[in-house]
Chains A and B, each alone.
Chain A
Amino acid sequence: MSVPVRVPEVRARSSLRRVLTGLAAAVVAVVLGVAVFGPALAADPELIVGLPYTGPSAANPLGTDHSGRDVLDRVLAGGQPLLLVPIVATVLATLLGLVLGAVGGYFGGVADAVVSRLDNLLLGLPPVLVLLVLLHGWGYGAATMTVVVVLTGTPFVSRVTRAETMRAVEDGYVVAAYATGDSHLSVIVREILPNIVRPVLADFGTRLAIAVTLTAAAGFLGFGSSGPNWGAMISQNVEGIRLTPWGVAVPAVLLGVLTVAANLGLDRVVGRVLR
């Protein structure tokens, strides 16, 4: 198949693409800014300022929610809980998955059998079920959400790490390091990890997006802390959507931008840093 080359169109498309990329980055920056600095800018988000489900006004630019609280203040205050816990939990899941996968892939035998069985067991559990069972036992909290994200995220990291480690073990530089008398730990940390870190981190952004989704889902299902949370706002205000859509629309769009940015943007950033 021959491909006609049309230079002007390509150039036009690439400049359009640059504009779009810039716009996307600006939108993401605004959403991140709201999530990080919003709580400092918001007035008391629990204050009842008027009737439930009123439309935008000068005093309440986005109207009020199902309890007559200011939607804008709750939007400003409701992003932060979706950032800190998911980031910490995803980092923990990645580290744990790296250790388990490297141990299983490097040593093989019993260690590998244990790691593989554990991975398969955890992969068979639907994340929402894990979320609900732990909420049942412990209630909502940073610790609960961290454990949920670690339990559901670790097996994915561990599987990739295990496969990559098994491949790297055969490589000449690993055999050479071992032959010169390096310890197992030293071989794993100094020879294998640097060479497998790229494929393992390739979908860090995807896993962070899943962690944000799970945390928001806990709020959405009504288990979050009583404080504002974009996920919870959607389910709380959906009943009044005909009266005023802003209590659903604004947190939904912000949450959507956050997860898409984590999924797409972070993968690109990680890829660029590791290149």
Chain B
Amino acid sequence: MATTEEIRAQLADIVNDVAGVPVADVQLDKSFIDDLDVDSLAMVEIIVGCEEKFGVTIPDEESKNLKTVGDAVAFIEAHQA
């Protein structure tokens, strides 16, 4: 199983790839929309990227709750195979 830090680092790569946010800025307490300036379309891409990278399924109703980087990392940790 990947550690929290490993998941955060891989998620940071996805956010960087999709939205051009510097990897170092993608920290657990950051809000995707308010702090990282990720818009709703980019958020969808990040969700799709996470599903591919981590082998998890993130339903639409669930993705609405992933407001911070920490929310996303926690979801992935809880649902990783």
Are chains A and B native binding partners rather than an unrelated pairing?
Answer: no
What is the interface of chain A, defined by CB distance below 8 A to chain B?
A: none
Where the two chains meet, the residues of B that have a C-beta atom closer than 8 Å to any C-beta of A are none
